[in-house]
Amino acid sequence: MTFAPKEKRIAYAASIFCPDIPEKDKPLFKQGLTEMAHISMREQAGADMVKAFSGREVPVVVDPTLLLTADEWRKVSRQPAWYHGGDYILTYFLGERPAVVNKLSEENGLPVVNILDKDVYEHYVTSPDEFLWAIEHAKLMYTDSFHGTVFSILFRTPFVVCNRIGSAVEEKMGSRIDTLLGYFGLDSRRGTLVNDYFVENPLAAPDWSNVDRVLERERRRADEYLRQALKL
């Protein structure tokens, strides 16, 4: 952000994609972080990295998508063109999809709608507003996506969030999801290689009792951070 004066360099809920920064790039990171007026991170691991680079203690705040309520998101959601009634399992994987999804589909008699299936055109072209509706009305959301998890929580849709299957870097990039699940006490909804990407009773609703209280607290913290950073 060197295009802006230092006092205008503000980060809200930033996230560091890579779990490890190459040694040659560390001086650049240190300089850039030191010159920012305000920094907040989306995950604790990112905040720890900022401290390691710059010595700065920075707050961890929720992703901007969580600053809006479910009702506010519903105002921009829309039933997908592909939906013609009936229950379904929704999947949204940026990495590989685990085989357990097909097993759950067969056992429960539920079709799978895979948003990123290029072979099913109407699913693949699902728009953002349709994506929101599809998450809210699914019997189960299976995903490796941070935001797929966010909207599942907002809409109280049973979900399983998996570690991303793919390259070594992708498989390590779960710290933002760790932080997200930790906020709400939903760590039991995590699918990993250890549990074969399966959780007990995945279609049953998890304990949502902490969600409203935590969202109220974290929205207040976010508001305080932004007001301080923007001098409002």
168 and 129 both lie in a single domain:
yes
Which runs of E-coded beta strand occur in the chain?
Answer: 10-14, 38-41, 89-92, 112-114, 140-143, 159-162, 190-191
Contact partners, residue 135, CB within 8 Å, separation at least 6: 90, 141, 148, 151, 152, 155, 157
Contact between 174 and 95 under an 8 Å Cβ cutoff? The reply is no
Identify the CA nearest to 135 among candidates 45, 33, 193, 65.
65
For the chain, how many structural domains are there in total? 2
d(CA 183, CA 44) in angstroms, rounded, equals 11
pTM score above 0.75? yes
Are residues 20 and 96 located together in one domain of the fold?
A: no
Q: Determine the residue type at 5.
A: P
Where in the sequence is the domain holding 224, given as residue range(s)? Answer: 6-65+215-229
Burial class (CB in 10 A: 0-12, 13-18, 19+), 189: buried
In tens digits, the chain (232 residues) has pLDDT values of 889 999 999 999 998 867 678 889 888 988 999 999 999 999 988 899 899 888 899 999 999 999 999 999 999 999 999 999 999 999 999 989 999 999 999 999 999 999 999 999 999 999 999 999 999 999 999 999 999 999 999 999 999 999 887 655 444 557 888 889 999 999 999 999 899 999 999 999 999 999 999 999 999 999 999 999 999 8
The H-assigned helical ranges of 98-200 are 100-108, 121-124, 128-137, 146-155, 168-171, 175-184
Pair (49, 16) in one structural domain: yes
Q: Based on the fold, state whether residues 53 and 116 are members of the same structural domain.
A: no
Do 103 and 129 belong to one domain? yes
Q: What is the 8-class DSSP label of residue 181?
A: H
| 224 in the same domain as 136 | no
Domain presence at residue 220: yes
Q: Residue 130 maps to which CATH number?
A: 3.40.50
Q: Is residue 1 part of a domain?
A: no
